[in-house]
Structure 1
Amino acid sequence: MPHPDDEPSALVYTARRVARHLRWARTEGLRRLVEEDRLNPVERAGTALAKARWRRRHGVPAGQARPVYLVGLQRSGTNMLVRGLAAAPEFEVRNENDRRLFHRFQLRPDAVLTATIRRSRHAYILVKPLCESHRVDELLALPGVRSGRALWAWRDVDDRARSEVAKFGDANLRALRAIADGSIGGRWQGQRLDAEAYELIHGFDYDRMDPHTAAALFWYVRNSLYFRLGLDRRDDVLLCSYQALTADPRRHLGRVCGFLDFPYHPRLAAHIAPRAPRRRPLALDARVRALCDSLTARLTAAGGDAPPPRPARIAPGQDHG
């Protein structure tokens, strides 16, 4: 949890959330906002009813639910994975807007998480602590609960940067600047960074950096944790590519289900329309582009995914599209 002095006031926090939702609705459309935050009351009621029925008929004893942590970086397709697994009544879902388990999208103390997992009567409890992705190794070692699994989601850097800036504006730029000037405090963006990451972050001029390049650099810093924490060497962590998921939803969700020892059903992928990458790469700072290309190759190889076709790059200074 961040130190209280690092948090904005309730008024400032609410104002930022409203502004963010307005920006998202304006750039992506109201329908996308409703789908993104699962605001459809009919869909939510139907899901809740199916889960209640499953608990009555098949509920497991308290303390037997297997935790599944969905981690990675914001705007990496995690909501798509949540929506798919939530379609299975065997899963209890605790998304990051669940105020009982999260405070401003960050996990409450571990004791709250442990108690929540132990109370569940579902076979699985899916928790999405994106802000605590740097702690996933610690979460997998929580005492008093069944051994868990983790899904590390990642997305093409250009697509993720566009989505990040469309919804959150220059948030990644502000975070990197705060890390560089030492004002980040206890906020999650600055946690568990090693000397190499700090040196890298300090090597840029954030007064001259554009938001898309900052979002790409932040993508590099956070997704590098997958390797730096040794998650690539663990059999309880699965790397999940957004590009692979959208290219072949049934195959990729089938892979996820196999990892979780859970039978695949077509309804889990019913909300995903297969599609191929469409947009051109962004005009990023050349050094940041090289870092991201290198990490993309490592992630692709580690996940066993074929690299997505990349169209020709646009020249620096052209429209971000």
Structure 2
Amino acid sequence: MRGLQLPLLQVALRCAKDLDLIRCAGDLGHAVSPTSSRHAVYGVHGIQVDGYPVYSMATPTVDGAREVLSYLGCKDATGRDIIQKVVITDLREEVVVYIKGTPFVLRELDQPVDTLKHVGISGPMVENIEARLKEDILSEVKQLEGRLLLHQEEFNTATNQCSVLGYWEHIDLEDVMTPAEVYSTLRDQGSSRYYLFISHTGYGGVAYAMAITCLRLGADAKFVMEQTAETHFVSSSLTKSVSVKTFTDIALRQGDYRDILNLTRALIHGPKSKEEVDKVIDRCVGAGDLREDILQYRKALRDCSHDDDDEARSYLMDMGTKALSSYLI
């Protein structure tokens, strides 16, 4: 947060005690649901929504992105090849820069696991910051005669602790790229794809975007959701799969909030629409669950005491409201 308030981010790379570049983790960190499938292509962890040509993946290396595009049928063309058009929607929530084909993010060095919070920042602003960060890195490399201090997270399974290790890397000027430049290079290499960047900071992230995409495809006659016992609305199995104490918890995990129910009653096909939305959310649960997000923020806000600072309460209220709005939309 502090780095983003600086005019040109010039201090970010030089104040190692405050901010530094840390290599991106390559796993989504979510469990796979019965209605989503996990894939691993060239070390890139991803999830496919069963029944839909919709995938999500962690931030890939350049080689990983190239292999994923090839896996999806979007590869270099020959005169006989049929190229599958792929639409890539980048929903990264923080500034990313590629160094030698590996993605790095800017983090507080004493809190390397926590993303810098800049909720609501626009996509063009993020890309502008990335371009300026690249300039700062190149300037740093020139000053240090081709070297750059980078960091990587190391997880110790014995102590269950995460540590950050710094190391010097020899860098050529062409080794530093922004994400937009990476995908532009892949396009120039023959990949048939469209690249969209939508900054989704604080708005539901991957699960939200995947659900919207599936709903849009579901409205098309080409994609009809398979009606199987596995994909029916999960209310019948909630009590088996989730430990809940009260009927209220069960209802809230199903998204039965007062505002939601009022909306469904006001719409002509409200209840049916909600059921269809919940089915899609269940399919995308491998990447997250909007209803669970609402419930977690609600519980966290209720657990806040009056002694807690106003900033923490305001943050929980803002994030919970955004999660509820995402579900309403």
Q: Compute the TM-score of the two structures, normalised by the length of structure 1.
A: 0.28
The structure richer in strand per residue is: 2
The structure that has the greater radius of gyration is 2
Q: Compute the TM-score of the two structures, normalised by the length of structure 2.
A: 0.28
